[in-house]
Structure 1
Amino acid sequence: MDYEALFKVTYGMYVITSKTNEKKNGQIANVVFQVVAEPPTIAICINKQNLTHDFIQESRVFGVSVLSQDTPLKLIGHFGFRSGRELDKFKEINHKIGVTGVPLLEDYCIANLEAKVVNVVDVGTHVLYIGEIVNAEVVDEKEPMTYAYYHEIKGGRSPKTAPTYADGGSQR
Structure 2
Amino acid sequence: MNSIDPRALFSLSYGVYILSTEFEGKKNGQIINALIQVTSDPICIAACLHKDNYTTELVEKSRRFSVSVLEESVPLKFIGIFGFHCGRDFDKFNACSYITGSTGLPVVTDFTLASVEAKVLSVIDVYTHKLFIAQVEAAKALKEGKPLLYADYHSIKKGKSPEKAPSSIFNVLK
Q: Quote the residue 1:13 is aligned against.
A: 16
Instruction: Pick one of 38, 42, 63 that aligns with 1:60.
Output: 63
Q: Count the aligned residue pairs.
A: 171
Q: Which amino acid aligns with 1:62?
A: F
TM-score, normalising length: structure 1? 0.96
Deviations 1:18-66 (A, max 9, x none): 1111110000000110001100100000001110000000000000000
Rounded to whole Å, the distance in 2 between the matches of 1:64 and 1:151 is 21
Q: Quote the residue 2:172 is aligned against.
A: 170
Structure 1 unaligned residues grouped into runs of 5+: none
SS where residue 141 of structure 1 aligns? coil
Q: How big is the alpha-carbon RMSD for the aligned residues of Structure 1 and Structure 2?
A: 1.3
Matches within 5 A, 1:100-139: 100-139=103-142
Rounded to whole Å, the distance in 1 between the matches of 2:109 and 2:89 is 23
Instruction: Name the CA shift for 1:79/1:70 in 2 (closer, same or farther; >3 Å).
Output: same
1:92 to 2:95 alignment: yes
Rounded to whole Å, the distance in 2 between the matches of 1:16 and 1:68 is 14
Q: Quote the residue 2:160 is aligned against.
A: 157
Rounded to whole Å, the distance in 1 between the matches of 2:85 and 2:58 is 16
Q: Quote the residue 1:28 is aligned against.
A: 31
Q: Does the Cα contact within 8 Å between 2:7 and 2:173 map onto a contact in 1?
A: no
**Which structure shows the bigger proportion of residues in helix conformation?**
2
SS where residue 58 of structure 1 aligns? helix
Rounded to whole Å, the distance in 2 between the matches of 1:171 and 1:82 is 23
Q: Percent identity?
A: 43
Instruction: Name the CA shift for 1:158/1:135 in 2 (closer, same or farther; >3 Å).
Output: same
Q: Does the Cα contact within 8 Å between 1:165 and 1:171 map onto a contact in 2?
A: no
TM-score, normalising length: structure 2? 0.95
Structure 2 unaligned residues grouped into runs of 5+: none
Rounded to whole Å, the distance in 1 between the matches of 2:47 and 2:78 is 20
Instruction: Name the CA shift for 1:27/1:6 in 2 (closer, same or farther; >3 Å).
Output: same
